[in-house]
Amino acid sequence: MSRVGRTTVLVVGGMLVIFVVAVAAMLDSIDRRFRPACLERVPEAPDGEFATVDWETDTDAGVHPVRYDDGLETTFPAPARGTRIVSTLPGITEMVADLGHAHRLVGISPWCDVPEGAQDPRRITVQPFDAEGMLAVRPDLVLLDRRLHLRDLATIRRRAPHVVMLETSRSLPHLVHSMQLLAEVLEGPASGPSPAAGSAHARALAFRARHEALVGSIDPTWEDGAPRVLVLGGWDPLYAMGPGSLLDDMLRTCGAINIACDLGTDASGTFNEELVLARRPGWILATTSAPMPDRMRERWRNVPAMRAGRVAPAHGDDVVRGGPRSLDVLARLHAVLRGTQPPEHLEATK
């Protein structure tokens, strides 16, 4: 074979390999028809893995924490009851304030509202980590979100060893548990089943009771089949909320199907536009404040949600933050999906 001939064979052979891979991918996609089971029925709630604090009674020092375990893979000494707290998320700041300890906040994230009772806390970022700011406020307790900040944990603990990771953006049961964990970290273990009125424990228990009552009042069955919902966090690129996000859990609680249910468990990700057309959501919840681009309105004109005008703005801070107000969001979401309130009702508070 001549040199030119061999080169040609090499190049054409390489292109054939590319073709084989492409055909295999095509056949695979046709074979699967891309209809995951989670589109047909509401998936079960994932098993909860909850963080705990172990307490030890010492005759000299009283009760003190000995170990904090985030329920998964990290365990380290628990903080003393925090008196100088840094909150790294708006939802966590709201939780601290809701439990009556806003006055202990010495640092909050740039996106937090300063809660009533807080005394001019410093703005501190975690991503990127503001090490100087963290050291300056001398915190004895840093509150992180497990899903959002796990990767930053080692870096933060080098400057502020006493951290607790809460679960504010994963599911409502995790949020409820996080409220109780936070109450425990702030005020020590509950002394009994009926904590003192006004204490953090009492407030956390009230939150749990409200959650149970609300979930109990929601009928997750639908006569005409479960509504199919797309939760979008961005238009360009198309960004959807999937399993692992608080809104996904709320939809499941309401008996609705998240059409991005196969997005993985990382809460959100880019989502292929053709699946929006193929899976035909009856509702679109937009957690971005940017308006829907005109060309998308045109392309999605046959999507049931568009035809029925069921595109609900969902970018209020109470919707996008996991915190004490999330139960209000669940109630509003249920009312909107049931049709007892207009789509704009989801955005009722700002």
Partner 1 sequence: MRGSLRWVLGLAFVVLATGLALCMGPFGIGPGDVWGALVGQADDTVASDVVRTVRLPRVLLGLLVGAALSISGVLFQALLRNELAEPYLLGVGPGALFGVTLAALWYGEAAMPPAFARGVLAFLGAVGVAAVVFTFARRAVRRPAVTVLLAGIAVGATVHAVASGLLYTLDDWHAVVRWLLGDLGLADYEQVLILGAVVAVAGLLAWLFARDLDVLTLGEETAWYAGVEIRRALWLFGGLGCLLAAAAVAQCGLVGFVGLVVPHIGRRLFGPGHRGLIPASALLGAGLLAIADGLARTLHAPQGLPLAVVTAALGAPVLAALVLRRSAA
Q: What is the secondary structure of 84-149 as a DSSP string?
A: SEEE-SHHHHHHHHHTT-GGGEEEE-TTPPPPTT---PEE--TTTT-HHHHHHH--SEEEEEHHHH
For residues 263 and 233, the answer to whether their CB atoms sit within 8 Å is no
Q: Which is nearer to partner 1, 3 or 61 (CB)?
A: 3
Nearest to partner 1 of 71, 234 (CB atom): 234
Rule CB under 8 A: is residue 308 a binding residue for partner 1? Answer: no
For residues 36 and 228, what is the distance between their CA atoms, to the nearest angstrom?
14
Coil/strand/helix, residue 68: strand
Q: In angstroms, what is the minimal distance from the CB of 55 to partner 1?
A: 40
Mask of contacts with partner 1, 11-50, x by CB under 8 A? xx-xx--xx-xxx-xx-xxxxxxx----------------
Q: For residues 31 and 287, what is the distance between their CA atoms, to the nearest angstrom?
A: 34
| Smaller CB separation from partner 1, 29 or 349 | 29
Binding mask 194-233 for partner 1 (x = CB under 8 A): ---------------------------------------x
Nearer to partner 1, 75 or 288 (CB): 288
Largest CA distance in the chain: 92
What residues between 238 and 297 interact with partner 1 by CB under 8 A? Answer: 238-239, 260, 262-264, 269-275, 277-278, 280, 288-290, 293, 295-296
State the minimum distance, in angstroms, from the CB of residue 166 to partner 1: 22
Minimum distance from residue 186 beta carbon to partner 1 (Å): 30
Residues sharing a CB contact under 8 Å with residue 116, sequence separation 6 or more, in sequence order: 97, 102
CB-wise, 79 or 243, nearer to partner 1?
243
Question: What sign results for the dihedral spanned by CA atoms 188, 194, 195, 201?
Answer: positive
Q: How far is the CB of 18 from partner 1 (least distance, A)?
A: 6
| Contact in structure between 94 and 115 (CB atoms under 8 Å) | yes
Cite the DSSP H helix spans in 188-325: 200-217, 246-253, 273-279, 294-299, 304-307, 317-320
Among 1, 3, 37, 47, binds partner 1 (CB under 8 A): 3
Residues in the site for partner 1, rule: CB under 8 A? 3, 7-8, 10-12, 14-15, 18-19, 21-23, 25-26, 28-34, 233-239, 260, 262-264, 269-275, 277-278, 280, 288-290, 293, 295-296, 299, 302
